A and B are shown apart, each in its own frame.
Chain A
Amino acid sequence: DAMVIQNPRYQVTQFGKPVTLSCSQTLNHNVMYWYQQKSSQAPKLLFHYYDKDFNNEADTPDNFQSRRPNTSFCFLDIRSPGLGDAAMYLCATSIYEKLFFGSGTQLSVL
């Protein structure tokens, strides 16, 4: 049973056209994360929520925003995607510092 679910698996957007990626979890974990992973690179933390408390990494561009309307759902909004934002976006939850990742959304920017 999938515990961290990301939709869609693949997303194509146009340069500058806003896009939203979604994540849901059935684990009831307090903490949710968004990571960006480019090809052959390590996942890079963008931000995280502890309950409704939002924590932004210092080097996360303003172009990236997030919403967490409730415990189960979290969204990543990219306001004006650039070519450099093409990547895999991974959502994760955490308990006792152990991360559970979703399958990711592969974002292409045309």
Chain B
Amino acid sequence: GQQVMQIPQYQHVQEGEDFTTYCNSSTTLSNIQWYKQRPGGHPVFLIQLVKSGEVKKQKRLTFQFGEAKKNSSLHITATQTTDVGTYFCASSGGGADGLTFGKGTHLIIQP
């Protein structure tokens, strides 16, 4: 997979505040995927973005893929305690080569 840089590494928010994590690459990505990993759990697929400028929503989650296909973001509106976990972006080189994960953003929510 292609290298992806993810920021921030940690994000503390009050419950009800919004949260955003960003993923960047120096090269054009064929696609970007987002995974959520709860504490003590395993990564769970959230979404895949393929098209330039693509925006997808899942309830309070909004995913964007940049026009140049070099960056992506995940935005959560009005965080809840169930949103706690680590959010990873990941990219593949295509085919069965496997995903390369960003370092993840650990979301900590204070009630």
Contacts and interface: CB of A to CB of B under 8 A. Distances in A.
* Contact residues on B (Cβ < 8 Å of other chain), bracket: 20 to 34
B96 A94 contact: yes
Contacts of A100: 45
B103 interface: yes
A48 B98 contact: yes
B100 A45 contact: yes
Best-buried of B48, B90, B101, B106 by chain A (most CB within 10 Å): B101
A80 to B, nearest CB: 25
B42 A90 contact: yes
A101 B42 contact: yes
A102 interface: yes
Contacts of B43: 43, 90, 99, 101
Contacts, number: 53
A92 B52 CA distance: 28
B96 A99 contact: no
28 contacts: A30-B96, A33-B98, A41-B103, A41-B104, A42-B102, A43-B88, A44-B101, A45-B98, A48-B98, A50-B96, A55-B96, A90-B42, A90-B43, A94-B98, A97-B48, A97-B92, A97-B94, A97-B99, A98-B33, A98-B45, A99-B33, A99-B35, A99-B43, A99-B45, A99-B99, A101-B42, A103-B41, A103-B42
Interface of A: 30-31, 33, 40-45, 48, 50, 55, 90, 94, 97-104
Interface of B: 1, 31, 33, 35, 41-45, 48, 88, 90, 92, 94-104, 106
